């Protein structure tokens, strides 16, 4: 199929520009669209055949459930069980919607099981990106959308990233410029006693705790070796990864830099194409590509997946990466780095 590209002119009426893509959704097609976190690949959440096209286009396994996107609080009613949105969940969405927060709630029987991979819960979020909002609003239905990348590749933060992975496999892409945050939404399960963080993201644990009190953090978020129950198979280990093998060097200060310099030199000696991704300072080793992802957590999150994709374009064999602290957005950044890592070294 031919993938149509619609470039948004933000100075003009956005709703009118997304009309054709909304029509594609209503007709059972697939459209990639920008959100404030990453680009999503959308289909009508109530149309099982349309949602099946998402899984096929991405080569995504059927046991990895999708997030359903809404443009108004009224849309949530059709997705969840009556009463599922309790006082705490309501407080959270009032505080953070529209925005990068996904809440897991008991699902209504109207949501086809392909969307939730057979789980009796559904993940829902209201994105804050004006193009996403206008697009869902015009479509008039909730839109199921995972990140618009091929399975296991880094999430796309630009329309060009979507096309690299999915050109010819989806009906259309709405090009609304760069996704601002750069890492996916925070996912919080509100179906149990205490809220449970399933994926750190654009809204921080600190922000959530300020609204609903203590939050449990799923052990798999910090521990790559975690082998216990997953709640969602989509939380499985390797994810978001560049083609080359990523080696994450954990630790602090000078020791990390020295370890990276040593490891990079050894890999170069083996004839590998080597890159170093850094956060705190430029780490230069003769013969290796040196790339500073960003200077603060906002910048690092914004440029992380772009950096992975750039390493793919440059055919890098091995990438050495340093860490950031785990406060604020850092928890999401470190979670993605650990998931992408083939190996974790302690300096």
Q: Which residues bind ligand TXA (CB under 6 A)?
A: 35, 37-38, 40, 64-67, 100, 102, 104, 116, 119, 121-123, 125, 127, 145-147, 184-185, 187, 198, 231-232, 234-235
Comparing CB distances to ligand TXA, the nearer of 40 and 242 is 40
232 binds, among ligand TXA, Mg ion, none (CB under 5 to 8 A by kind): ligand TXA
Place of tokens 């993201």: 201
The kind and range of the H/E element at 138 are: helix 130-139
Q: What is the dihedral of CA 217, 219, 220, 224, to 10 degrees?
A: 130
Q: How far is the CB of 149 from Mg ion (least distance, A)?
A: 6
Pick the closer one to Mg ion by CB: 35 or 147. Answer: 147
Considering only residues 144 to 173 of the shown chain, the ones binding Mg ion according to CB under 5 A are 147
Letters for 186-215 (x = contact with Mg ion by CB under 5 A, - = none) are: ------------------------------
Nearest-CB residue for ligand TXA: 234
Name the binder of 231 from Mg ion, ligand TXA, none, CB < 5-8 A by kind. ligand TXA
Please name the residues in contact with 255: beta carbons below 8 A apart, sequence gap of 6 or more: 347
Q: Which is nearer to ligand TXA, 146 or 330 (CB)?
A: 146
**Nearest residue (beta carbon) to Mg ion:** 147
Which of ligand TXA, Mg ion, none binds 318 (CB below 5-8 Å, type-dependent)?
none
Q: Most distant CA pair in the chain: distance in Å? A: 62
For the chain, the distance separating the N- and C-terminal CA atoms, rounded to the nearest angstrom, is 49
Please give the structure tokens belonging to residue 110: 């109207």
Answer with the entry of ligand TXA, Mg ion, none that 152 interacts with (C-beta below 5 to 8 A by kind).
none
* Minimum distance from residue 146 beta carbon to Mg ion (Å): 5
Handedness of CA 316, 37, 278, 266 (dihedral sign): negative
Between 127 and 330, CB nearer to ligand TXA:
127
Task: Pick between residue 125 and residue 302 the one whose CB is nearest to ligand TXA.
Answer: 125
Complex with ligand TXA: residue 60 or 138, whichever CB lies closer:
60
The alpha carbon torsion through 296, 301, 302, 303 (nearest 10 deg) reads: 90
The answer for residues whose C-beta is within 8 angstroms of residue 219's C-beta and 6 or more apart is 226, 228
Query: Is there binding between residue 71 and Mg ion (CB under 5 A)?
Result: no
CA distance 148 to 310: 17
For the residues of 66-105, what is the DSSP string, one character each?
A: -EEE-SSGGGGGGTB-TT-S-HHHHHHHHHH-SSSEEEEE
Binding site for Mg ion (CB under 5 A): 147
């Amino acid at each position: 199929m031919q993938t149509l590209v619609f470039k948004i002119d933000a100075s003009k009426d956005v709703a009118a520009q997304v009309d054709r893509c909304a029509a594609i959704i209503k007709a059972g097609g697939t459209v990639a669209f920008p959100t404030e976190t990453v680009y999503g690949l959308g289909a009508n959440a109530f149309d099982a055949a349309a949602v099946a096209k998402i899984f096929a286009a991405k080569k995504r396994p059927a046991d990895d459930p999708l997030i359903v996107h809404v443009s108004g609080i009224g849309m949530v009613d059709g997705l969840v069980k009556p009463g599922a949105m309790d006082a705490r969940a309501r407080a959270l969405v009032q505080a953070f919607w529209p925005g990068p927060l996904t809440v897991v709630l008991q699902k209504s029987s109207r949501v086809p099981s392909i969307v939730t991979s057979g789980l009796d819960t559904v993940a829902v979020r209201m994105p804050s990106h004006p193009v996403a909002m206008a697009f869902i609003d015009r479509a008039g239905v909730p839109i199921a959308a995972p990140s618009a990348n091929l399975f296991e590749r880094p999430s796309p933060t630009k329309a060009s990233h979507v096309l690299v992975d999915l050109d010819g496999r989806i009906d259309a892409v709405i090009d609304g410029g760069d996704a601002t945050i750069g890492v996916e939404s925070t996912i919080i399960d509100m179906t149990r006693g205490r809220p449970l963080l399933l994926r750190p993201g654009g809204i921080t644990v600190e922000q959530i705790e300020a609204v609903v009190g203590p939050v449990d953090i799923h052990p798999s978020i910090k521990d790559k070796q975690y082998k216990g129950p997953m709640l969602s198979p989509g939380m499985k280990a390797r994810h978001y990864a560049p083609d080359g093998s990523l080696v994450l060097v954990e630790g602090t200060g000078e020791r990390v830099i020295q370890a990276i310099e040593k490891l990079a030199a050894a890999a170069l000696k083996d004839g590998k194409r080597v890159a170093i991704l850094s956060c705190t300072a430029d780490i230069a080793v003769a013969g290796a590509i040196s790339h500073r992802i960003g200077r603060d957590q906002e910048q690092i999150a914004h440029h992380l997946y772009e950096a992975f994709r750039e390493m793919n374009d440059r055919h890098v064999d091995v990438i050495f990466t340093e860490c950031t602290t785990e406060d604020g957005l850092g928890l999401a950044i470190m979670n993605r780095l650990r998931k992408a890592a083939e190996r974790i070294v302690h300096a």
